[in-house]
């Protein structure tokens, strides 16, 4: 959920340069991919699940045991946000890896 929530900070409409827009679309798709894979593994259509979770209340996500979008904390499922953050954070704050820069910026904006 943390990665999907981070996509909200990427404003595609504000990008006039087609190359920047394409790059931002790639990043959005990459941030959606973990949820798509969970849905696929559960036998569900990834795009439908991404849309349902995106439009669900904050804190809700896919429970793959029940195939329902629900409050994950109440269901006893903890979204490992700190694991996600540390995995996508730059190894050195002054010289972040290029692949991590956009994901880290999106997550940092969402987390504030």
Kindly give the residue spans of alpha helices, DSSP state H, lying in 1-58. Answer: 2-6, 18-41, 46-55
The structural domain count of the chain equals: 1
The domain that holds 60 is classified in CATH as 1.10.560.10
* The overall pTM is greater than 0.85: no
User: 53: Cβ–Cβ under 8 A, 6 or more apart, which residues?
Assistant: 1, 4, 35, 60, 61, 62, 69
Q: Note the pLDDT of residue 38.
A: 87
- Whole-number Å distance between alpha carbons of 55 and 36: 15
pLDDT in tens, the chain (112 residues): 778 888 888 888 888 888 888 888 998 898 898 889 889 999 999 999 999 999 998 888 888 889 999 988 888 877 656 556 655 565 555 555 555 555 555 555 555 4
- Whole-number Å distance between alpha carbons of 84 and 80: 6
End-to-end CA distance of the chain: 15
Q: Which domain holds residue 30?
A: 2-111
């Amino acid at each position: 959920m943390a990665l999907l929530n981070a996509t909200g900070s990427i404003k595609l409409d504000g990008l006039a340069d087609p190359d920047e827009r394409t790059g931002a679309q790639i990043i959005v798709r990459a941030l959606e991919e973990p949820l798509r894979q969970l849905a696929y593994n559960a036998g569900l259509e990834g795009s439908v699940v991404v849309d349902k979770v995106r439009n669900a209340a904050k804190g809700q996500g896919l429970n793959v045991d029940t195939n329902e979008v629900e409050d994950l904390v109440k269901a006893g499922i903890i979204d490992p946000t700190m694991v996600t953050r540390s995995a996508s954070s730059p190894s050195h704050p002054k010289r972040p890896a290029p692949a991590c820069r956009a994901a880290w910026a999106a997550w940092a904006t969402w987390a504030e």
